[in-house]
Every structure is written in structure tokens, then in C-alpha cells.
Structure 1
């Protein structure tokens, strides 16, 4: 497990080539996501699929909020749409979001996971099945255990796992739960996670 961004080390370890990034967050997640996504430059080429726990009784404004702050395209995911490189997708409220084998997105209304729908575990586990080892996953602040099982699955497939340092998380339950199940490749503060995403995209190009 590395606790510093690769560029800060004398001999940076080789990072894997990935085809997509999945991200999960809950309590405190809006601010955390803005911090890791703001460094992404215009033309960033990797797709990012994110689940942020939201109340499902009203329309989400996440895409509009993030679009006004970021240099990359942002949208709310649509059922059956094909994943496009360089786009940030947010799960819609009230539906689990999954990645299919043909790299399209799909909605479902199965039972809630840790009282949440969309569930981070649903996204992470399906993305692991679709992308195998060519996937990076990031788990941030949150007040329940959603995402821990999905992160462990991604690690089993050989994907890259990144967890926010729980000591710096607004709600540390979620990163702590993931750390209890597996040792991530990186345990980082938010600014370093943003830099790591930029480096992953540079390697993939």
C-alpha cells in the first residue's frame, strides 16, 4: 500500500494501464469529488463512472453542478447508453447502476444495499466483471459500508484500488470498512488522488 502520490517518490512505481475509473462516495462526497476531479484537464480521455448516495425522491442536480466546475464533459447516466471515453457519468437517484459486458450502462431496482440505491458495490462489482484488471476504483468519504465489498472484488480481478485516507475523510466509516477487507494500492488524501487520476490517464494515452 502506498501513502504518497507516485511522483513524490524517488523511483515512482509503475502504474497499470486502465480503461476506466469508478468512484464511490457518500456523506461529504460532493466536496470530496470536486477536489479529485478539478485537476482533470480538458481532453482527459478515460471514462469515469461515479456513485454518490442521494435521496431518490427528487431529481439529481449533480451533473449540472459538476459540469459548471470541471473541464471534462459531465452527465447523468442513461439506461442502455454506451460508455464514452473522457466523460464523467453520475448514477441517477433511485436506480442501481451497472456496467455491462459490452461497456454499456444499465439501471435496475433491486433491493437497496446498506440502505442505498444506487449502490457503490453494484457499480464496482459489475465494472470489475466488465473491465477485469484494466479498472481503477476510488472510494471516498461515507457513513456506511457500501463499496467495501466492491473494492475487494476489483482487487481480486487485479484492478487498481485507491482509498481516501480515513483520517482526512469527513465520514470515515466507508474507507475504514474497505480497509478492513483488503489492502489498497494507494491510501491517499484527496489532492493526491486527483493527481493520481491525471497520471493514470497520461499512461493510458
Structure 2
């Protein structure tokens, strides 16, 4: 499984990464983007026509399906469960965010340990740093967008500080890194 967190500048960053994943990509990809608490997010529909993989908004208790990109819905935390299902929570915001990147990353680290890759992209707060640390501690792979290639560098900087062993990659290098997971 791959978990991705992004905030300010997310659409542009994800537009470089998600369409580059091949149709036979064998992993589920769970994404949290800080979005306003509108009744409906348009991220899944925005990316559905651009990607080789199935793209959808996550639903509560939905089974994970390889080769599918799941976006956290507006105003819900997205969690990964050890029974290969997703769950949604309306618990309090974390660092002013619901959905929270830390909530997704920590739940995925607990559920999948070293079978997990976490990626922090552009953003202007520290959400995701603690979660990426949990992925590192569980033996997973930690990737971070190089701060100077991010629209907002605060989130990548916080992630690198929390997880010094994370691999820092430019936006143009990230698709190849994710595809190399597929070729292993």
C-alpha cells in the first residue's frame, strides 16, 4: 500500500505523479489532501480521467482493491485497517485538519508495517510528519518531496526533520520511485 499526504499545491504535485502510475500498478494508493469541508470533494473526478488506475473517493468499510487510488472525502479522516478495509471517522480535526495525514499514516503503519510506503508532498503545515515517523518506525519506506520543488515547503521540511532517513525526491523523480516499487 502507498499513502500520500499533501496540502497547498497538491493538485499540481499529484498531476505529475498519479498519471504516471501504470495500469498494472499492484498497490492501493490512499491520499489525504487538505481540502475545505465542502459537502463533496471533486478530487476523484478531477483525476479519474487522467489516470491509468481506477480513482474514487473512499467509502466507509470499503475493501481495499489493488490498482485503485482512493481520496479521503471532505471532512472525514481516512484510516487503513488491518483487515484490508478502509474506515472513515468524523473525530475531531488533527492540527486543524479533517482529513488528517497523520491519522491515515499512523493507522496504515499500525496495520501494514513494513509493507507500506508513505509519501509527503507540498504543504504549509506539519501534518504528516508524525505519521511518516510512524511509517519509518514500522519499517516502511518513507519518501518526501524535496522542499525546494514544493509549492509550500513547510510540510516536506517537517517530514524530513521527523524522519531523517526518508528519501527526498524532486517531483519529477517521484513517479519513477513509485514505479520501482512495482518492479520489485
What band does the TM-score fall into relative to the shorter chain? over 0.9
Segments of structure 2 that go 5 or more residues without pairing to the other structure are none
Root mean square deviation, CA, Å: 0.9
Deviation at 1:179, TM superposition (A): 1.4
TM-score, length-scaled by structure 2: 0.97
Contact 2:30–2:71 (CA<8 Å) still a contact in 1? yes
* Bigger radius of gyration among the two: 1
Q: Which of 11, 35, 43 is residue 24 of structure 2 equivalent to?
A: 43
Is 1:165 matched with 2:165? no
Contact 1:162–1:184 (CA<8 Å) still a contact in 2? no
What is the 5 A alignment of 1:35-114? 35-114=16-95
Tell me the distance in 2 between the aligned counterparts of 1:46 and 1:25: 19
Tell me the distance in 2 between the aligned counterparts of 1:168 and 1:74: 26
Segments of structure 1 that go 5 or more residues without pairing to the other structure are 1-19
Deviation at 1:185, TM superposition (A): 3.3
What is the 5 A alignment of 1:6-21? 20-21=1-2
Q: Which of 142, 157, 167 is residue 186 of structure 1 equivalent to?
A: 167
Is 1:130 matched with 2:111? yes
Tell me the SS of whatever aligns to 2:75: coil
Deviation at 1:168, TM superposition (A): 1.0
Higher relative contact order (CA 8 A, sep 6+): 1
Is 1:146 matched with 2:131? no
Runs of 4+ in structure 1 displaced over 6 angstroms?
none
Tell me the SS of whatever aligns to 2:174: helix
Question: What residue is the counterpart of 1:4 in the other structure?
Answer: none
Tell me the distance in 2 between the aligned counterparts of 1:185 and 1:52: 20
Deviation at 1:91, TM superposition (A): 0.3
Tell me the SS of whatever aligns to 2:20: coil
Aligned pairs, how many? Answer: 184
